[in-house]
Amino acid sequence: MTIVLGITGGIACGKTTVVTYLNQQGIPVIDGDVIARKVVEKGQVGLTQLVTAFGPTILTKEGKLDRAHLGSLVFADQTKREQMNQILGPIIRKAILAAIDQYKKQRVPLVLVDIPLLYEHHYEQYMTKVLVVSVSPATQLTRLMKRNGYSQAEALARIESQWPLSKKIEKADILVDNEGSIYDTHRQLDQILANLQQFDDKTL
């Protein structure tokens, strides 16, 4: 069987660090962000539908999506954010599920599905297990402000647009505490991989 491991966590909690390390161990990754970017490229139906909903001001002079402008619109307005998700959600979901099916057909032992809003958009139903990457709220806020150059208010708005991290932690099958050193995180991941191998052996 193919173990489909969903990976999520709060923004700026270090999910990319986790995914990068696991990918370096030879595990393939389906990246939800990459897929989300592809469906709004110039000429794609996702971009066309966004322009219909939000107007041509979300486009650059070259006719590409102005991500910063769209972001300022949807993060300041929950209704608009929900409208954007209703447009892009089904398109992204179809592409992610197609990628999962492809790996299952290839009988890949383990595939990672990296989705920042995994629980918010109910992807857990497609996963064998879900891993959540966590840090303390204070660390999350500090890292996001430093990483993106946000003010405290801007960072809090991004954090609050997602489920509370505590809620994701409660639902997680597997938890990685990314508060410590990179060595600590890698050690946790090595143990998780060993446990998943045992899980797979028991299901065969």
Residue 63, pLDDT above cutoff 60: yes
* pLDDT above 80 (res 85): yes
Across residues 164-171, what is the average pLDDT? 94
% of the chain exceeding 90 in pLDDT = 86
107-134 pLDDT per residue, tens? 999 999 999 989 989 999 999 999 999 9
Q: How confident is the model at residue 204 (pLDDT cuts 50, 70, 90)?
A: very low
Q: What is the pLDDT of residue 201?
A: 63
- Alpha-carbon gap, residue 13 to 133, rounded angstroms: 6
